[in-house]
Amino acid sequence: MPGFELFGDKERKEVQDVMDSGVLMRYGFDAMRNGHWKTKELETALAERMQTNHAHAVSSGTAALTIALASAGIGAGDEVIMPTFTFVASFESILALGAVPVLVDIDDTLTLKPEAVVNAITSKTKVVMPVHMCGSMANLEALKAICDQHGLLLLEDACQAIGGTYMGKPLGSIGDLGCFSFDYVKTITCGEGGAVITNNEDYYENAHKYSDHGHDHMGNNRGAEEHPFLGYNFRISEMNSAVGVAQLSRLDEFIVIQKKNYTILREALSAIPEIVFRTVPDGGEENYSFLSFFLPSENLAQKAHQALSDKGVDGCFYWYNNNWHYYKKWEHLTNMKSLGNLPKDVKEALPDYNKADFSESDKWISRNISCLIKLGWSEKEVTERAKKMVEAIKSSL
């Protein structure tokens, strides 16, 4: 991770196809295309790779989450349960529809704690949104059972975990809907892009229409298309999709490299008895994009993180103080800072997160360090990195 480390002839060839045709838009201009439909090609390949009936490519992972929720009819006042550890896009997508993000604790998987989900369910709850952070997954068996029992949708945010699996199935394909991000720093990239996958025909039909101003995409005359409902513009361009076509064809190649580099680092750190690695649920295999582990205390985790930095080991993250990924720094959410008036449903129903008790999440995140696994490292570089990491962490204990 990320895919841009290994751009090559495949990406150049796909992009050149688009440049030669001159058609950068995913819809229309049929006669000019010379048979090139890169977004359709990406969607077909993604649905096959993810073992789902449908895939729809869009402009970003954030757009994918918003579209997925909208496609299932989520709107004003509906509650969506999400974790305290994620990217801000999770709650942005919920709020964009006038729905209410309900934050709950994580556990040692660094994802949703099932017991916390159960305790957060109300009559307004419509969706449970696990976020497969840093390449690994939530306890999907438990979450799916909860959703089935309460009649809730399971929406997998797999934006950071493409290529991972659970019980032999690709992450993103297990819930009612799944979402991916293909931004510049993801395991595979389009530069900017994302996708929604689902086996539900209605959700797919709603998704491709909603993401293109409500166009029904019937016939071959775009100007004559009907608008069965309101939509928005979340289209991806052919240029972005072209890069995605090449990168998706290389996903398995990337996962093999990540696993090799991850394994070298993990085996080295396993010699430090104070380190406990993140829990991967039984039956799960992460995509090896991050190596995440816990130190015995918040103080020791901070010292180890600083020692890694001092040793020149880049790409290691201490999320507890991170502006984008942990609730403690989401002041714009907790204080409801908005350029315009927020919907009444949000104002009245959003919990007061300034007073929330997420001590369970704090217990895990305050002791966690997650280290990025790069694709471009040589074996010598990985071995030297492992040695530096062990020395740095030992020196801090």
SS3 369: strand
Cα separation, 278 vs 288, in Å, equals: 12
Q: Is the model's pLDDT at 120 over the cut of 90?
A: yes
Cα separation, 69 vs 320, in Å, equals: 28
Reported residue count of the chain is 397
In 3D space, the residue among 109, 126, 128, 115 whose CA is nearest the CA of residue 166 turns out to be: 109
Confidence of residue 33 (pLDDT cuts 50, 70, 90): very high
Instruction: For the beta carbon of residue 25, count every other beta carbon within 10 angstroms.
Output: 13
In 3D space, the residue among 86, 100, 258, 99 whose CA is nearest the CA of residue 181 turns out to be: 86
Q: What angle do CA 385, 390, 391 make, to 5 degrees?
A: 95
Residue 95 and residue 101 in contact, taking contact as beta carbons nearer than 8 Å: yes
Cα separation, 180 vs 141, in Å, equals: 20
Q: Parallel, antiparallel, or unpaired for β 153-157 and 177-181?
A: parallel
Q: What are phi and psi of 13, to 5 degrees?
A: -65, -45
pTM: 0.97
Residue 334 and residue 358 in contact, taking contact as beta carbons nearer than 8 Å: no
pLDDT for 21 equals 95
SS3 326: strand
pLDDT tens per residue across span 309-326: 999 999 999 999 998 999
Q: Is the model's pLDDT at 333 over the cut of 90?
A: yes
In 3D space, the residue among 49, 282, 315, 53 whose CA is nearest the CA of residue 158 turns out to be: 49
- Strand locations in 24-110 (E): 54-58, 79-83, 100-104
Q: Parallel, antiparallel, or unpaired for β 79-83 and 100-104?
A: parallel
**Arithmetic mean of pLDDT, 43-49:** 98
Residue 189 and residue 60 in contact, taking contact as beta carbons nearer than 8 Å: no
pLDDT tens per residue across span 47-104: 999 999 999 999 999 999 999 999 999 999 999 999 999 999 999 999 999 999 999 9
CATH match of 252-396 with 1.10.3730.10 = no
Q: Is the model's pLDDT at 376 over the cut of 90?
A: yes
Cα separation, 116 vs 328, in Å, equals: 18
Confidence of residue 130 (pLDDT cuts 50, 70, 90): very high
Cα separation, 224 vs 130, in Å, equals: 39
Q: What is the CA radius of gyration of the chain?
A: 21
Say what percent of the chain tops pLDDT 70. Answer: 100
Cα separation, 301 vs 363, in Å, equals: 12
pLDDT tens per residue across span 204-250: 999 999 999 999 999 989 999 999 999 999 999 999 999 999 999 99
For the chain, what are the domain ranges? 3-250, 252-396
Domain 3-250: which CATH number of 3.30.365.10, 3.90.79.10, 3.30.470.20, 3.40.640.10: 3.40.640.10
What secondary structure does DSSP assign to 152-169, as a single string? -EEEEE-TT-TT-EETTE
**Arithmetic mean of pLDDT, 291-303:** 98
Active site residue 40: no
SS3 236: coil
DSSP 329: G
Q: What angle do CA 326, 331, 336 make, to 5 degrees?
A: 125
pLDDT for 1 equals 81
Average model confidence (pLDDT) for the chain? 97
Active site residue: 38, 126, 144, 186, which one? Answer: 186
